Amino acid sequence: MELSLIRSLMDKEFYDEHRGSKCPDRLFSSDVRKIKKSIDTAMDRYERTVLPDEIEALFMSDNPTLTTAQKASYSSLFGQIKREQPLGSDIAQEVLSKLFQQVVGEDVANIGFDMVNGDAATLEKLRNLLERYGDDFIPNLNIEWDDITIETLMAKAELEAKWAFNIPSVTRKIEGVSGGQLIEVGARPNTGKTSFHASLIAGPNGFASQGAKCIILCNEEPTHRVGARYLTAAAGMTAHEVRDNFAKAKSLYEPVMNNIRIKNADGRDMAWVESICKTFKPDIVVLDMGDKFSVEGSFAREDQALAACAIYARQIAKTYDCAVFYMSQLSADAEGRSQLNQSMMQGSRTGKAAEADLMILIGKSPSVEGQEEDSPLRHINIVKNKLNGWHGMVNVDLNYQTARYEG
């Protein structure tokens, strides 16, 4: 760290802001301290930014009595300085400020020790110390403010829906999603959660067709079963139709398959998910089920563990610029209901729900006694929306045989 700071001090502007008492020699080890002295000399003499090679030449000329071994040692040290990446101005300022505070803290501690031992002049020493340094205890930060010009804001707004939903009734309310967003999707068992993301990704004009690289991490159902949903969603064919017309199904499936990767994630944790995203840089990530990925730490309650998992998922979305679909169960209160709310999300309380940029809850009408098949009607409830603010419900049909949401 001290070598990176030495590189930063070779910058004239940075040096001028931190010269003298703000950057005392005591911050550095003895050998580096001597190099800093050469930087002080160069700044006084040339009044410009200097290079490591220039400081090395000046140092050697100002220390002609160095032995051969000492010259070799300092040459090695200068070699390390040249290989160091200079700290960014804001980071260097913060590091220097903290080191400076440590040095002053040592002075204060020494004065306190003298006071305990009866030195009558300690109060005067302490007052002089505080007057001397004043506001220098507060770090000086060089902030580069974010761009909020109208051009940038409009461009960012367009990117908020980089990947468009392919369900027309939903698209009319919410255009789509983009990198950095966490989308929590909840439903009761056998409502169509897996079909929902299969339809969004592999269905007509889905994310995969739009060019998004999609990764689906499954710890709920076997990957071959999830993959079969993606196949039928892409082809628009039932499993029987796929078997009867394999060539047609293949021709419809292969164009989107190239943008889809599915992996079994049983027993995996969120750190593993992050490694996947860091390595493969996806645009869309589906965690099915999000709540079953573990996170490091001990938690007194289940909702705290689920909140930690959602926080990690949101961090992954922002760090790796991908949209994360976090699939979750709804409580029994949601069974057979069309209108749903956040409190029905398993382990919601506050923490888990608070992380979502968009929360989609899928409702299903109750079964009718004597009816052979469930109604295909599904109720898409948008209960949280930081993307464009719209809240409400839209009705769509789920073709369970092809895993496509339509309407």
When mean pLDDT is compared across 9-13, 193-197, 260-264, the lowest value belongs to 9-13
Using DSSP, state whether 329 is helix, strand or coil.
strand
Instruction: Name the more confident of 396 and 124.
Output: 396
- CA geometry: angle 171, 172, 176, nearest 5 deg: 30
Q: Does residue 63 register a pLDDT over 50? A: yes
> What one-character DSSP code corresponds to residue 97?
H
State the pLDDT at residue 194: 96
Task: State which CATH number among 2.60.40.1510, 3.40.50.300, 3.10.20.30, 1.10.260.30 fits the domain covering 154-406.
Answer: 3.40.50.300
Using DSSP, state whether 379 is helix, strand or coil.
strand
**Chain-centre distance for alpha carbon 392:** 29
Q: Are 378 and 220 a contacting pair, CB within 8 Å?
A: no
Instruction: Name the more confident of 343 and 143.
Output: 343
Confidence of residue 304 (pLDDT cuts 50, 70, 90): confident
Confidence of residue 139 (pLDDT cuts 50, 70, 90): very low
Provide the token pair at 87: 């700290």
Provide the token pair at 175: 């255009």
State the pLDDT at residue 269: 94
Instruction: Name the more confident of 157 and 171.
Output: 171
When mean pLDDT is compared across 14-23, 24-33, 144-153, 308-317, the lowest value belongs to 14-23
- 398: Cβ–Cβ under 8 A, 6 or more apart, which residues? 192, 195, 376, 377, 378, 404, 405, 406
Q: Does residue 135 register a pLDDT over 90? A: no
Give dist(CA 237, CA 401) in Å, integer.
8
Instruction: Please provide residue 347's backbone torsions phi and psi, each rounded to the nearest 5 degrees.
Output: 65, 25
**Exposed / middle / buried, residue 173 (Cβ in 10 Å: 0-12, 13-18, 19+):** middle
Provide the token pair at 277: 């995203």
The DSSP-derived string for 267-285 is T-BHHHHHHHHHHH--SEE
Q: Are 208 and 191 a contacting pair, CB within 8 Å?
A: no
Q: What H or E segment, with its residue span, contains residue 17?
A: helix 12-18
When mean pLDDT is compared across 134-138, 195-199, 202-206, 255-259, the lowest value belongs to 134-138
Mean pLDDT of 147-168: 83
* CATH 3.40.50.300 residue spans of the chain: 154-406
Radius of gyration of the chain (CA): 31
Give dist(CA 347, CA 304) in Å, integer.
8
Provide the token pair at 167: 């369900």
Task: State which CATH number among 1.10.3470, 1.10.860, 2.60.120, 1.25.40 fits the domain covering 2-137.
Answer: 1.10.860
State the pLDDT at residue 285: 98
Q: Are 321 and 177 a contacting pair, CB within 8 Å?
A: no
Q: Does residue 240 register a pLDDT over 70? A: yes
Helices (H), 258-343: 270-280, 302-319
Summarised one tens digit per residue, pLDDT across range 317-368 is 999 999 999 999 998 888 989 999 998 987 656 678 889 999 999 999 877 6
Mean pLDDT of the chain: 87
Percent pLDDT > 70 in the chain is: 88
Give dist(CA 200, CA 182) in Å, integer.
15
Smallest CA-to-CA distance from 218 within 119, 145, 303, 285 is with 285
Give dist(CA 403, CA 98) in Å, integer.
58
> What one-character DSSP code corresponds to residue 291?
G
Q: What H or E segment, with its residue span, contains residue 150?
A: helix 150-159
* CATH 1.10.860 residue spans of the chain: 2-137
**Exposed / middle / buried, residue 303 (Cβ in 10 Å: 0-12, 13-18, 19+):** middle
Q: Are 262 and 216 a contacting pair, CB within 8 Å?
A: yes
Q: Does residue 388 register a pLDDT over 50? A: yes
State the pLDDT at residue 21: 59
Mean pLDDT of 117-128: 72
Strand partners, 5: none
Amino acid in the structure at residue 346: Q
State the pLDDT at residue 347: 64
pTM of the predicted structure, to 2 decimals: 0.66
Mean pLDDT of 220-233: 95
Provide the token pair at 181: 């967003």
Q: Are 190 and 183 a contacting pair, CB within 8 Å?
A: no
Give dist(CA 57, CA 106) in Å, integer.
35
Provide the token pair at 172: 């009319």
Q: Does residue 261 register a pLDDT over 80? A: yes
In the numeric block, the tokens 């040459």 are attached to: 75
Instruction: Name the more confident of 369 and 122.
Output: 122
